[in-house]
């Protein structure tokens, strides 16, 4: 029985409600007036329910799809402007006791070399990441109670925050590790993590159990209820996502939005971010084995409808996607991307080889500087901002500021100040020229005059060597 306030996974992600939502969307997908009324209503930035969003996703009328895309662009521009937040993944260990059939780190894969970074190796990776210009990381580790216990993750976070190399610093560490206990989530919070990220992979319980035949992750309820435990432990910012291609995309799309509605109803704050990975090739993984792989067109539609349905939730795309695909979804709603990523353990300090320790094949293999340059050419502002978490603007405090529109007075100057730092410390000569031109134009778009004046002053101070200003 569907109950979005329930603590039980099978009730807040009710299978029958997902099927009923899809059936309702199918019945109504020819109802032009209804779809148009939803598109009009969603222009108020208040989002849509999972059923309403399922209907937009089912719509096949090209003219209406273009209207949805136009609305998604408008919402993105209104809330996120042309800023794109940058981050990089950092793989700590690929030892894993689980059996996820879509991941090369599964325990039975004997062809992949296993590796776990020591604290010295982590420090070297962090120096390499800082030398690229990164300020925000997403930690990744397989689940292994003996080799990757929570103490190892906590020690690694401490190491990462402690490294100050030249002008570099990692200012926000997001963490993507296996579902755990409230007690452990409290320890992660105390370690100063940014977002706790955990992908559901698929919300279809039966399919989930087939895709995860062994290991602790095979417990659907424990995995699906993880964000409740994280939020109970005081982690305000959680990041959810499914791996498109494992299940029919319509099922997982509805399940994802029901999860977001559950968190909002129960904790007063929905997910901070939604990631939109698609299944892609890797060692021991052939995408031909997955019959639900989605096309670029469907992928773009998913991003656009998510942007409309949950306007204030950041949306993340990784280097699994090609530059071309990333450009399309940036336009339709994605607000955060990784750049210069290595998806192998130790990848930032060693030459990465396709067949070694990568979790997935990277499509976008450009350096961070090349990605920054490309974003600038497309008219975006690459942002290395990490201010909210450091200013205590998390969870509902962040959401209320975002919904009031006041966040633009933080995001815009913070983006420009952190981009100025990038320009001074890491950019190539031609990227620097582009950045200086962009800052001169974009500083005028900081809404509040006093904040604008302060940002101008801070940018001058950055040019003369000071660092780490934020609003």
Residues that bind ligand SF4 (CB under 6 A): 85, 96, 98, 100, 103, 105-106, 142-143, 217, 383, 385-388, 407, 410-411, 414
The least distance separating ligand SF4 from the CB of residue 172, rounded to whole angstroms, comes to 8
Residue 373 or 409: the one with the smaller Cβ distance to ligand SF4 is: 409
Residue 98 or 204: the one with the smaller Cβ distance to ligand SF4 is: 98
Residue 191 or 410: the one with the smaller Cβ distance to ligand SF4 is: 410
Which positions ≥6 away from 397 have C-beta within 8 Å?
A: 236
The least distance separating ligand SF4 from the CB of residue 83, rounded to whole angstroms, comes to 6
Residue 159 or 176: the one with the smaller Cβ distance to ligand SF4 is: 176
The least distance separating ligand SF4 from the CB of residue 14, rounded to whole angstroms, comes to 25
Residue 69 or 91: the one with the smaller Cβ distance to ligand SF4 is: 91
Residue 93 or 373: the one with the smaller Cβ distance to ligand SF4 is: 93
The least distance separating ligand SF4 from the CB of residue 312, rounded to whole angstroms, comes to 10
The least distance separating ligand SF4 from the CB of residue 354, rounded to whole angstroms, comes to 18
The least distance separating ligand SF4 from the CB of residue 272, rounded to whole angstroms, comes to 9
Residue 385 or 431: the one with the smaller Cβ distance to ligand SF4 is: 385
The least distance separating ligand SF4 from the CB of residue 410, rounded to whole angstroms, comes to 4
The least distance separating ligand SF4 from the CB of residue 20, rounded to whole angstroms, comes to 30
The least distance separating ligand SF4 from the CB of residue 294, rounded to whole angstroms, comes to 19
The least distance separating ligand SF4 from the CB of residue 64, rounded to whole angstroms, comes to 31
Question: Using an 8 Å Cβ cutoff, are 376 and 433 in contact?
Answer: no
Number of neighbouring beta carbons within 10 Å of residue 206 = 11
Residue 85 or 459: the one with the smaller Cβ distance to ligand SF4 is: 85
Which positions ≥6 away from 435 have C-beta within 8 Å?
A: 376, 419, 420, 422, 423, 427
The least distance separating ligand SF4 from the CB of residue 57, rounded to whole angstroms, comes to 26
Residue 60 or 379: the one with the smaller Cβ distance to ligand SF4 is: 379
Residue 299 and residue 281: Cα distance in Å, rounded? Answer: 17
Residue 38 or 188: the one with the smaller Cβ distance to ligand SF4 is: 188
Three-class secondary structure assignment of the chain: CCCCCCCCHHHHCCHHHHHHHHHHHHHHCCCHHHHHHHHHHHCCCCCCCHHHHHHHHHCCCHHHHHHHHHHHHHHHHHHHCCEEEEEEEEEEECCCCCCCCCCCCCCCCCCCCCCECCHHHHHHHHHHHHHHCCCEEEEEECCCCCCCCHHHHHHHHHHHHHCCCCCCCCCEEEEECCCCCHHHHHHHHHCCCCCEECCCECCCHHHHHHHCCCCHHHCHHHHHCHHHHHHHCCCCCEEEEECECCCCHHHHHHHHHHHHHHHHHHHCCCCCEEECCECCCECCECHHHCCCCCCHHHHHHHHHHHHHHCCCCEEEECCCCCHHHHHHHHHHCCCEEECCCCCCCCCCCCCCCCCCCCCCCCCCCCCHHHHHHHHHHCCCEEECCCHHHHCCCCHHHHHHHHHHCCCHHHHHHHHHHHHHHHHHHCCCHHHHHHHHHHHHHHHHHCCCHHHHHHHHHHHHHHHCCCCCCCC
Residue 362 or 411: the one with the smaller Cβ distance to ligand SF4 is: 411
């Amino acid at each position: 029985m569907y109950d979005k306030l329930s603590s039980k996974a099978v009730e807040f992600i009710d299978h029958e409600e997902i099927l009923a939502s899809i059936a309702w969307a199918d019945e109504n997908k020819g109802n032009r007036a209804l779809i148009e009324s939803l598109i009009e209503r969603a222009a108020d930035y208040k989002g849509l329910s999972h059923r309403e969003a399922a209907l937009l996703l089912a719509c096949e009328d090209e003219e209406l799809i273009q209207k949805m895309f136009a609305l998604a662009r408008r919402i993105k521009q209104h809330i996120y402007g042309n800023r794109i937040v940058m981050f990089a993944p950092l793989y700590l260990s690929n030892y894993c006791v689980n059996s996820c059939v879509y991941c090369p780190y599964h325990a039975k894969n004997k062809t992949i070399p296993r590796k776990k970074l020591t604290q010295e190796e982590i420090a070297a990776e962090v120096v390499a990441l800082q030398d690229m210009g990164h300020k925000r990381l997403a930690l990744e580790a397989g689940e292994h109670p003996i080799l990757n216990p929570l103490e190892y993750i906590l020690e690694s976070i401490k190491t990462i925050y402690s490294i100050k190399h030249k002008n570099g610093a990692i200012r926000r560490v997001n963490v993507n590790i296996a579902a755990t206990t409230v007690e452990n989530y409290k320890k992660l919070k105390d370690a100063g993590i940014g977002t706790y990220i955990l992908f559901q992979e698929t919300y279809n319980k039966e399919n989930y159990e087939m895709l995860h035949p062994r290991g602790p992750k095979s417990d659907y309820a424990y995995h699906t209820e993880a964000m409740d435990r994280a939020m109970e432990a005081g982690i305000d910012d959680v990041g959810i996502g499914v791996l498109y291609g494992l299940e029919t995309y319509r099922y997982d799309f509805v399940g994802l939005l029901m999860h977001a509605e559950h968190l909002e109803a129960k904790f007063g704050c929905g997910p901070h971010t939604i990631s939109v990975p698609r299944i892609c090739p890797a060692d021991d993984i052939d995408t031909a084995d997955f019959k639900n792989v989605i096309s670029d067109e469907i992928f773009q539609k998913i991003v656009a409808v998510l942007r409309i349905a949950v306007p204030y939730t950041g949306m993340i795309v990784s280097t699994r996607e090609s530059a071309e695909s990333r450009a399309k979804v940036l336009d339709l709603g994605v607000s955060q991307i990784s750049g210069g990523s290595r998806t192998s353990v130790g990848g930032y300090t060693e030459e990465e080889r396709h067949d070694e320790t990568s979790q997935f094949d990277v499509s976008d293999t450009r350096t961070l500087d090349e990605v920054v340059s490309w974003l600038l050419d497309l008219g975006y502002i690459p942002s290395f901002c990490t201010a909210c978490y450091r200013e205590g603007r998390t969870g509902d405090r962040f959401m209320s500021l975002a919904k009031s529109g006041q966040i633009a007075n933080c995001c815009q100057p913070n983006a420009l100040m952190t981009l100025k730092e990038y320009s001074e410390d890491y950019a190539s000569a031609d990227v620097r020229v582009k950045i200086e031109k962009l800052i001169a134009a974009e500083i005028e778009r900081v809404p509040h005059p006093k904040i604008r004046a302060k940002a101008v002053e801070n940018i001058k101070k950055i040019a003369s060597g000071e660092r780490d200003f934020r609003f």
